[in-house]
Structure 1
């Protein structure tokens, strides 16, 4: 098997840990034998201050995936969950694990078709699940579009917005979900420290919602706790906001450079606001993945042959991806260097 030189299949953040994070982890290691802040009240308060809300409107959990599952398990009620497709591959599984039925609404122009999603709502719909920016397309919806969508929903339908990649997006191109959650009790927003804050290996996320939603979720937190080490690292990451913003801007600049490279090669690639790109080669998706693998670049196909998602990596990795794409499109798929054969 070829040696993996560039792991671009997991949407990891390749920037170094934020200032203070390593020191916080080392310090926390001396206290892992103690209970300390088992319910993350300190981290909850810090996040609430950071987003300008009360602590009663913030719920902390071990990553956004766990929070999504907790929310669905609490509020799905055996009904239907409307979501866009393609979107985060785990949505259908999470919905079914919550005892509900996923209702997938196809994208329009590679983005959420909010009108069609509103049309898909029935008296069985409990939740509409939105992903902004959408994974894998990287597309966004703006605040005016979201407000128009909310105006069409029945009062009893909840809206959960997954903003895992929001910090990489142009603020003018994306709805402020947290502001809408503060205004509308139907709206909840889930975010993660895994992407922009670089804490993927520690699993920390938070949900912003109406106090009644947080109260309903709280009993589950006894079984979905955030570790002492992860709490301290997240607190340090919050204090490094300026550096985090700078790193995200650097990722975005590299992302846009790579996008221009893809379009110059003739590919129709959506303008991404995440830290990844979505390539579509149809029946040749797997062939492209194999070509990348032969050069030590790991990318991945998505469910149902929807395309190939490629994380924005280092400049070296991204240049290699562009070169491999050029070869693939030109039919020159032989002679690819094999790192393990040197």
Structure 2
């Protein structure tokens, strides 16, 4: 395993971060525990979850994933050996069963306390805002429409004050953002620069894959100059970059078979790009999944590559991508395909 520090800290995390959003829906608790056992034995010490999980969110499965992780901590005693990240859900139609009050002080405190109870711990290493309160382009929206009313008033200072108080209480150690834009990222960073008592956001969890490299356009310079590390989610594009959907296949039990509305990475152009990446990987005796993940692992602005799997075979292949080094020929081939079909998935 390869390790690096969370930016601005001495906390050492594995480059491969274990994603958990299928546990409690596509995966049972026993399967989630098996995945944690295996990942931990392979040197993965960084787990990411959220109060919204499992996905798709549903009132009948509210926050089940955190409970599964908490039960594993109790069973194994491994809490202090794991760097744990979780998130507060933002306002949205699909999350209103959790709360409707956004990132008010009461909401954040309630969310943190709930996560701590479910996770059977008294601290969270990295606490993240799952998506912005304001209307902006996230979750597959390519462009920003400023004419969409959201009635949002800039409360970033107040949000950071609440998070600061929770840090002082020892309930969280560090803070991060997720699904953020360059504007939002800089607002958070500048607020903590101007007001030294406020916590600095040290990570941003955004989509990043061979099908969506939009992070490179506006965010990678911020990540490098400001040292805010990317936690790349959907590095395989909902499994599309495993190649399992090529040839019009729809494997039984796969995410797209179960949840056809999760089509963010399966447009005609995304499939065309995936076919080209598949052929490149085959030409160099690589699996498509490992090539796609190894590319993410190699990016200098990536702090953690958040993998997710529903089977142990997938998990083993994903984690072993850390041992794959892409040749100059492969990297050149990736860029050639990217120039032909850039960012087909928003």
Asked if Structure 1 and Structure 2 have the same fold, meaning a TM-score greater than 0.5 normalized by the shorter chain, the answer is: no
User: Under TM normalisation by the shorter chain, which class is it?
Assistant: 0.3 to 0.5
- TM-score when normalising by structure 1: 0.35
- TM-score when normalising by structure 2: 0.34
Higher relative contact order, structure no. (Cα contacts within 8 Å, ≥ 6 residues apart): 1
Task: Please tell me whether Structure 1 or Structure 2 has the larger radius of gyration of its CA atoms.
Answer: 1
